[in-house]
Structures are given as C-alpha cells and as structure tokens.
A and B are shown apart, each in its own frame.
Chain A
Amino acid sequence: MSQPVLSVRDLIVEIPTRHGLLKPVDGVSYDISPGEILGVVGESGAGKSMTGNAVIGLLDRPARIASGGIYLNGERIDNLSLAQLRRYRGKQIGMVFQDPLTSLNPLLPIGDQLTETIQEHLGVSGGEAHNRAVAALDEVGIPAAKERIGSYPHEFSGGMRQRVVIALALCAEPSLLIADEPTTALDVSVQAQITSLLKRLCRERGMAVMLVTHDMGVIAETADRVAVMYAGKLAELGPVREVITSPRHPYTDGLMGSTPLASKGKRRLHQIPGNMPRLGQLPDGCAFHPRCPYTQDRCKADPGPRLKTCDGRAACWFPLDGAQAAKGVA
C-alpha cells in the first residue's frame, strides 16, 4: 500500500458554549490514498463540513481542534502556525465549496487570480504562469479559455464559475482536494459535468479527494469509499458499493431506505423515527439508540460503539448482516 495522502486520527473538534462543551467532530479517523475519492455523507449538522474545515485549518472561532492528528503525506499539519498552513492551502490542498463566489474575488479577472496562485505556489515566471492559467481553464472545460481569461466572475454562469473555482483549486497541483457540496447548487446536467471532471482529474493526477455531499447518487457514482457521519461520529466507513447495497450500521440502512429510489414501486418511503439529536443533547452510549430498531441494553450504556472498538466498518455493537439489511437498494 502506498502512503495515504491524508490521515486523520481521532480528531476531536470542540466548541465551548454557555451550555457546555460541544463536540461537532468526535473521534473521527480515516485515510485517503492517492487517486482515491472518499465520499462523506450524513444529515445536516452531522459534522461533515467541520471535519473538512479542520483539515484545511479553516475552523471558525470558537470551534477548535481539541485533540487528534492530521497528517498530509506523512507530515503532521494540525499543529502548524497559520502562516505555514496558508502555504499548504493552495499548494498542497485545494478547496471547492458549494458557493463558487466565496472562493473568487469579484473585483479581479479570473486570469489574474489564477496566475497569482500559480506564481505564488509554483514559482514560475509571469509568462509561464499565464500559459498555465489558460491550460488550467482549458482542462476544466471553459470554452475559448484564451479569450475568457480576462473575464470577471460575474460574467460566468453558476456552473462555469464552479469550474473556474476547480481550476483555481487545482492549478498549483495539490495532492489533496476537499470539495464541500461542490454541485449542490447546480442543475443535474451541470452536476454531471462537474463530477465527471473531478473523477477524471483525480484519476489522471493521482490526487486524493474528500467529497462532502448529502446526495447518495453522487456518492455512488463518484466515490471509491464512503464515510457516513452521525452526530459528529463516523457511523460507517467502507467501499461505496458495499456500504450502499448492504449497510451494516442501522443508521446507514435507514438512510438508504428513505431515498425514493430504494422504495421503487412502493407507496411509502421507509422512515427513520425521530430526528437527529442536537449536539448538546446527545444520549448516552450509541447516539443513534433512541431511533434504532435494533437497540439493546448495551447500546444505552457508555462507552458508545466506535469503528475501532467494533469491526472497523460500522460503529455498532450489533451490526447488520446482508440479510437483515433489506431496506437498502438491491
């Protein structure tokens, strides 16, 4: 096995509040290998973005990394200074967010933003940076890249803007890309263009990608492995086909069952009872136990199940086998 590009170990993110300490990310560990796309799914508030933001050192105060380690190509990066981190961002880690406008300067032509980033991180001459900027736009499928390089962000459609952001995130040839809901605001035809672009670039460059989304279809088609998050913890982690077709964690099973596709031909969708608890009101033991159809006494007592204290695939004391998990897609 080659060394993973990204290793996250027992990551805990804390938010001190008046009502006590919240842990939006609580003991998360995973690796992403070169050329691999890890999908991260889970309901709103599960801690997906917080995990990604911790990796790139972009946690908003008062959230902070409380413990754990983050390693990029074997080097520890969670204890770097802000200045050092800034150098990593852009050069080694590219970022794409849901709203392309957060990553682009509205007052600068896109070409200037690209050449600036390329010069800063690759140390090439202005002329060479310009050529590379055109090539980067060309690579993400901006038609007539040479002519469009002087255009401002607002002169592009939403889908085109997201491509410019991807070009910007990748122009310094980072080894890791963090994409947080990169296609959520886009139409399906544009979404298909962006996801196939991401897949191609990942394959061609051997880049590692962390793809955060709540769309199971996008995950199935794009990711190699998938991490399912629930209330700040990893509920399940495994190869995408296995997790989707035969989930082991009851939460994953419920999630798959509630998608309309899984209930094809059925009049009613499967419903998970109740709602995801708020961070300040997590139950003891397994955080999913009040909603789980398989709860037993052990589930209610601390310590709750963790991936590494269970079978490494599902954080559950009584994981489902293929036969039980009948609610997922066949």
Chain B
Amino acid sequence: MGIIVSVKNLTRVFDVSKPWLNRVIERLPKRKLTAVSDVSFEITENTVYALVGESGSGKSTIGKMIVGLLPPSDGTVEIEGVNLATETDAGVIERVRSDIQMIFQDPYASLNPRWKVGDIIEEPAVANGDATDGLAEKLLEQVGLSASDVRKFPHEFSGGQRQRICVARALASEPKLIVCDEPTSALDVSVQAQVLNLMSDLKDEFGLTYLFISHDLTVIQHMADRIGVLYLGRLVEEASPADLFETPQHPYTQMLLEAAPRMDGFGREVTPPEGEIPDPINPPTGCAFHPRCPLAIDRCATERPVLEQKEKARVACFRAGERAI
C-alpha cells in the first residue's frame, strides 16, 4: 500500500505579539509561539493515523496544515506526492484538494443553521462542479439517516445525527483522506459508538484514509493503526496501538497512559503527574518535557532529542525505553 500523506519537518510559528502601537509604547518585544515544531510522519493509504496529545500540543494546527487551511512556516506536506504549497499545475491542485476533507469537533457549529441538510451535504460536490442528482439522498442513507432528511434543517437533528451529516458532507466529493479533529469529543459514549462504527465501515467500503485527532486514549486505541504522541508541538513517540499501550517508550507517553482513567481501575490510586504543560511561548530548552520528566539527566536540559527508530517505534528521548513509572 502506498503512502498518501508525507509530512516532513513541519513547523508552524504564530506571531502572538501585542499590536504594533502597544509594543512601541510598552517597549515589548515581538512574541512568537511555536505551535508545531519539526514534525515528520507518513500515513499509509487506507489506514487510520491518530494524533494524540493534551490541549495546546499542536494537533489541530497539524490537521489544518495538512488540509491546506493553514500554511506551514517551515517544512512540507505532500498529499499523493503533491506539495500544494509549491505545485503550479491548477488541474493537479484541484484534483488533490478534492481528495481531502475535514470533520470538526463541534457538529453544532459546523453546519449552517439556515441551509437545508441536502444543500449542506452537496456543497463540496457543487464546489467541485460534480453532478449532484440524488447525491445527498444516497449519502444520507450511507450514514444511517433517511433520504427524506434532505429537506430538514440541522436543528431537527441530535448531536450524533448532526455529526453523521458532517460525515455525509465530507464524503460528497469522494475524498481519499479525511482529517477528523476530535469528531466525537462533544458526543455521549452511546452516540460516539454510532459515529465511530460508521467511520470504520466507510473506511472499509471506500478505502478511506483518516488522520484522526483526539485526546481520548481509549478512542485512539480503538480506531488507530498508527499513533503519534505530541507534546508541546513536538512528536515524541510514534508506534502501533499494541506497542504504544503495552510498552510505551517515552516518559511522557508513560505518564499519559498512567494518568488516563480506566474503566477497570476500581479504587486505583494514581500518582498524579507533576507540574503542568509549560508556556509554549517560552518552551523549556533541550527536551521540552525535561522539567516534568522523572528520568531527566543534565543533557536533557541543553540538547533536543531527535525522533529515532527504537525497536518498532520511533521515539525522541535520550533514555527511550526506560520505565519512568
């Protein structure tokens, strides 16, 4: 199977300075926030690649750069071998663009309340100039709703049904890759089960590839073929679910797995992780995790570890594989 997405040294810096005039009056320096720093990974066709990490770790920023909603500050994104930022052939750009779709966290905010469901679903196909006869009806049935729902408005649907409408819309342009940013985080577990099952079915049926963004480890474990763990904009570990959950190699991954609540953890006494995620504007030197890492050595404060192959995983840590907890 081929590689559909290839991300190399991807970096995104945001300028979070105060307005120019304030800066001059208050004598403030420019402030830069590095949301994503030197991230590289590949996604194989018809698999689910999951990005996991705590709030602010850069998950959404990576997703937006992959679908082309945000330009990288450095590094490249190639979809089917095409770099949309540098490609000049308009035909190629259009073809690749229509192969990518995105689904967002909030099924309430991402559907226009004044549009009928049918129009919402067909919109990406219309934008492509494709035929839309009966398309919305067919897609609604594919996501487990009914063809007659095309004439209804979003407010007539529950949260889970709205997220299915979002999935139907994403499918309209017959994409190959869908970037899903926390697609079930706003949903109850019973509704989440419906949406996750639907996504798995569609993946098999249409040979779809997903970049699946979530902070929920149990969801990630269920859905992913490959998992990338982010900390402060850096990819710190990448492995298969089996390897990651059995033998996490990076101290941060170990901490994350230990802290996550378990349904079989009756009366479990967790040693809560120390400290908090540092300020991304002034990240720690060397390894960004060193102020919280129980395994940190002198070198960690000065030198940034690179992501290297370690057994079947890729890990960015000088002491990869040692147990912190």
Distance, CA A76 to CA B265, complexed state (A): 36
Quick one: which of A261-293 are within 8 Å of B by CB?
A: 261-264, 267-272, 275
B 237-272 binary contact with A (CB < 8 Å = 1; else 0): 000000000000000000110011111111111101
Contact between chains at A187 and B262 (CB < 8 Å): no
Q: Which residues of B contact A196 (CB under 8 A)?
A: 269-270, 272
Given the interface pairs A188-B259, A220-B262, the reply to whether A260 lies near B55 with Cβ below 8 Å is no
Contact between chains at B262 and A272 (CB < 8 Å): no
B 259-303 binary contact with A (CB < 8 Å = 1; else 0): 111111111111011001100000000000000000000000000
A193 interface hit (Cβ, 8 Å):
yes
A 5-25 binary contact with B (CB < 8 Å = 1; else 0): 000000000000000000000
Distance, CA A189 to CA B217, complexed state (A): 12
Interface range for B: 35 or more
Closest A residue to B264 using CB positions: A329
Distance, CA A322 to CA B187, complexed state (A): 29
A201 interface hit (Cβ, 8 Å):
no
Contact between chains at B273 and A244 (CB < 8 Å): no
Of the candidate stretches B32-40, B69-77, B194-202, B306-314, the one touching chain A is: B194-202
A159 interface hit (Cβ, 8 Å):
yes
Contact between chains at A261 and B262 (CB < 8 Å): yes
A148 interface hit (Cβ, 8 Å):
no
Distance, CA A263 to CA B273, complexed state (A): 28
Contact between chains at B255 and A220 (CB < 8 Å): no
Contact between chains at A244 and B263 (CB < 8 Å): yes
A216 interface hit (Cβ, 8 Å):
yes
Of the candidate stretches B86-94, B120-128, B170-178, B218-226, the one touching chain A is: B218-226
Q: Which residues of A contact B215 (CB under 8 A)?
A: 187-188
From the candidates B159, B218, B259, name the one contacting A261 in the complex (CB within 8 A). Answer: B218
Contact between chains at A195 and B193 (CB < 8 Å): no
A255 interface hit (Cβ, 8 Å):
yes
Distance, CA A240 to CA B268, complexed state (A): 13
**Binding site of A, secondary structure by majority: helix, strand, loop or mixed?**
helix
Q: Which residues of B contact A159 (CB under 8 A)?
A: 276
Contact between chains at A259 and B54 (CB < 8 Å): no
Interface centre among B194, B263, B266, B270 (most CB of A within 10 A): B263
CB distance from A197 to the nearest CB of B (A): 8
Q: Which residues of B contact A222 (CB under 8 A)?
A: 261
Interface centre among B54, B191, B266 (most CB of A within 10 A): B266
Q: Which residues of B contact A191 (CB under 8 A)?
A: 259, 261
Closest B residue to A46 using CB positions: B188
From the candidates A195, A241, A260, A264, name the one contacting B261 in the complex (CB within 8 A). Answer: A195
A 224-255 binary contact with B (CB < 8 Å = 1; else 0): 00000000000000001100100000000011
Distance, CA A220 to CA B171, complexed state (A): 38
B189 interface hit (Cβ, 8 Å):
yes
B160 interface hit (Cβ, 8 Å):
yes
Distance, CA A159 to CA B192, complexed state (A): 26
Closest B residue to A186 using CB positions: B55
Contact between chains at A188 and B260 (CB < 8 Å): yes
Contact between chains at A271 and B193 (CB < 8 Å): yes
CB distance from A328 to the nearest CB of B (A): 9
Contact between chains at B222 and A269 (CB < 8 Å): yes
Q: Which residues of A contact B54 (CB under 8 A)?
A: 187-189
Closest A residue to B161 using CB positions: A275
Contact between chains at B189 and A241 (CB < 8 Å): no
Quick one: which of A167-206 are within 8 Å of B by CB?
A: 187-193, 195-197, 199
Distance, CA A216 to CA B273, complexed state (A): 21
Closest B residue to A263 using CB positions: B222
Contact between chains at A259 and B218 (CB < 8 Å): yes
Contact between chains at A271 and B265 (CB < 8 Å): no
From the candidates A189, A240, A241, A267, name the one contacting B259 in the complex (CB within 8 A). Answer: A189
Interface centre among A188, A190, A220 (most CB of B within 10 A): A188
Q: Which residues of B contact A240 (CB under 8 A)?
A: 266
A218 interface hit (Cβ, 8 Å):
yes
A160 interface hit (Cβ, 8 Å):
yes
Closest A residue to B258 using CB positions: A192
Distance, CA A191 to CA B261, complexed state (A): 9
Contact between chains at B190 and A254 (CB < 8 Å): yes
From the candidates B55, B188, B269, B272, name the one contacting A193 in the complex (CB within 8 A). Answer: B272
Q: Which residues of A contact B193 (CB under 8 A)?
A: 258-259, 269-272
Q: Which residues of A contact B160 (CB under 8 A)?
A: 275
Distance, CA A222 to CA B268, complexed state (A): 8
Given the interface pairs A195-B261, A217-B218, A220-B265, the reply to whether A255 lies near B190 with Cβ below 8 Å is yes
Distance, CA A258 to CA B55, complexed state (A): 25
Distance, CA A283 to CA B17, complexed state (A): 57
Q: Which residues of B contact A263 (CB under 8 A)?
A: 222
Q: Which residues of B contact A261 (CB under 8 A)?
A: 218, 221, 262-264
Q: Which residues of A contact B270 (CB under 8 A)?
A: 192, 195-196, 221
Distance, CA A229 to CA B269, complexed state (A): 27
A112 interface hit (Cβ, 8 Å):
no
Given the interface pairs A196-B270, A260-B222, the reply to whether A160 lies near B276 with Cβ below 8 Å is yes
From the candidates A157, A190, A217, A256, name the one contacting B262 in the complex (CB within 8 A). Answer: A217
Closest B residue to A141 using CB positions: B272
A99 interface hit (Cβ, 8 Å):
no
* Shortest 9 CB-CB contacts between residues of A and residues of B: A217-B261, A258-B193, A260-B222, A192-B259, A269-B193, A187-B54, A193-B272, A189-B273, A43-B188
Q: What are some 9 contacts across the A-B interface (CB < 8 A)?
A: A44-B188, A187-B215, A191-B261, A199-B269, A255-B190, A260-B222, A268-B200, A272-B190, A275-B160
